[in-house]
């Protein structure tokens, strides 16, 4: 199968660093041309499921604009310009929780939207997490650190308590990795 | 914890039915006001992991604009205005594959982006899928139906062959459901 081709692009909406929307003209694999294909550029991001040596999972309960009420959440945030995904993951874990981890497992990288883009998320499991410093409190949202047992984490997953798509995915990927490989 | 409040909104970019961008003014739980918060409205969508009575998973290999090369994909598509998620799931399964299923399990619903919105995806497992009609070929992408064994599906998941976030999530949710509950 042939790839889709971008024939031209123009900026429809130039926002701040968080959002740009482009208008693309596209050639489909079968040769058809589509004009006015919106393409959404948002920063790439990381999500980190961090687990301590005594098998506690470092999570937050927090509010976010897209939901009513609260959600459980793994560590996460946007990748800075020029930063590698794993460096962003390590920075976010440290900034948000004050924890550092001894082993970093890449769980996968996935574009968010097949048609519009909307950035790529990179997912990590951080093993051997321990508190080594104080967190930096600079995020907009209220958040409360929770150390969940594996049983808690699995029960939360079953009831959809990680309510945002990349957060649910991060936990599903981490649980699947641990079921296959343990913490080795 | 208190919710974030929308104080006002204006349209920044009025696209077609696939994309509208709004500019919101927001009050944070701690009372701070944020102006110029972009909010992205895209259609809600469904993804369906369908499995036949002889445990074959109904998937596609296909191209999409957001990726180079091909990806495995479950059935999926946008929800029509006024349509329920399960009705959209049943319609997409029929239109894309010509299959119908005897049991529909809701695997969860998740907003795509905690900050921007970007629509909500609804995930389903369709059990007892069988071909009852011809698919309707109206999608833009080339796609090739593949009937995967559970072993194939698990191996594809391990290697990240479902390359788009909601597609990977749909398969992770379905595999987790089947591991817990079987096909009962």
- Mean pLDDT computed over B152-171: 98
Residues B30 and B49 in one domain: no
Helices (H), B75-161: 85-97, 150-158
Residues B54 and B84 in one domain: yes
Give the pair of three-digit tokens for residue A181. 């490989």
- Mean pLDDT computed over B13-21: 89
On the question of pLDDT at B137 being above 90, the answer is no
| DSSP code for A165 | H
| B140 min Cα distance to partner chain A (Å) | 7
Residues B94 and B118 in one domain: yes
pLDDT at B139: 67
What does the CA dihedral B113, B24, B79, B3 come to, rounded to 10 degrees? 60
Residues A116 and A32 in one domain: no
Residues B33 and B114 in one domain: no
Residues B140 and B83 in one domain: yes
On the question of pLDDT at B138 being above 90, the answer is no
Q: What is the pTM of this model?
A: 0.96
Of A28, A32, A69, the CB nearest to B3: A69
Residues B23 and B97 in one domain: no
pLDDT at A139: 67
pLDDT tens digit string along B25-52?
999 988 899 999 999 999 999 999 999 9
Reduced to 3 DSSP states, what percent helix, strand and coil does chain B have, rounded to the nearest 5? 20, 45, 35
Residues A74 and A103 in one domain: yes
Q: What is the pLDDT along chain A (184 residues), one digit of tens a residue?
A: 778 999 999 999 987 889 999 999 999 988 899 999 999 999 999 999 999 999 999 999 999 999 999 999 999 999 999 999 999 999 999 999 999 999 999 999 999 999 999 999 999 999 999 999 999 976 676 789 999 999 999 999 999 999 999 999 999 999 999 999 998 7
Residues B78 and B144 in one domain: yes
Which one is predicted more confidently, B75 or A140? B75
Q: What CATH code is carried by the domain that includes residue A57?
A: 3.90.79.10
Residues B52 and B140 in one domain: yes
Through-space distance between the first and last CA atoms of chain B, rounded to whole angstroms: 39
Residues A64 and A87 in one domain: yes
Give the pair of three-digit tokens for residue B102. 């005897």
Closest residue in B to A30 (Cα–Cα)? B142
Compute the mean pLDDT over every residue in chain B, rounded to the nearest whole number: 94
CB contacts, 8 Å: B61 with chain A: 1
Cα separation, B121 vs A91, whole angstroms: 30
pLDDT at B1: 77
Give the pair of three-digit tokens for residue A175. 């649980």
pLDDT at B3: 84
- Mean pLDDT computed over B93-112: 97
The answer to whether B65 contacts A169, with C-beta atoms less than 8 Å apart, is no
Residues B149 and B94 in one domain: yes
Helix (H) or strand (E) holding B145: strand B143-148
At A13 the three-state DSSP class reads: strand
Cβ of residue A105 closer than 8 Å to a chain B Cβ: no
Cβ of residue B145 closer than 8 Å to a chain A Cβ: no
At A42 the three-state DSSP class reads: coil
Provide the domain limits for residue B145.
45-181
Q: How far lies B107's CA from each of B64, B77, B125, in Å?
A: 24, 16, 7
- Structurally, how many domains does chain A consist of? 2
């Amino acid at each position: 199968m042939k790839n889709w081709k971008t024939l031209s692009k123009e900026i429809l909406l130039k926002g701040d660093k968080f959002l740009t929307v482009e208008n693309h003209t596209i050639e489909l694999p079968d040769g058809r041309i589509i004009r006015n294909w919106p393409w959404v550029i948002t920063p790439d991001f990381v999500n980190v499921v961090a687990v301590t040596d005594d098998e506690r999972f470092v999570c937050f309960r927090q509010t976010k604009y897209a939901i009513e009420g609260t959600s459980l959440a793994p560590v996460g945030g946007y990748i800075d310009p020029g930063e590698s995904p794993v460096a962003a993951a390590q920075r976010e874990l440290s900034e948000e929780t004050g924890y550092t981890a001894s082993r970093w497992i890449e769980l996968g990288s996935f574009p968010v939207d097949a048609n519009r883009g909307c950035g790529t998320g990179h997912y990590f499991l951080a093993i051997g997490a321990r508190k080594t410093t104080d967190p930096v409190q600079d995020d907009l949202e209220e958040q409360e650190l929770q150390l969940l047992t594996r049983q808690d984490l699995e029960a939360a997953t079953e009831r959809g308590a990680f309510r945002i798509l990349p957060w649910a995915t991060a936990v599903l990927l981490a649980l699947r990795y641990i079921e296959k490989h343990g913490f080795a």
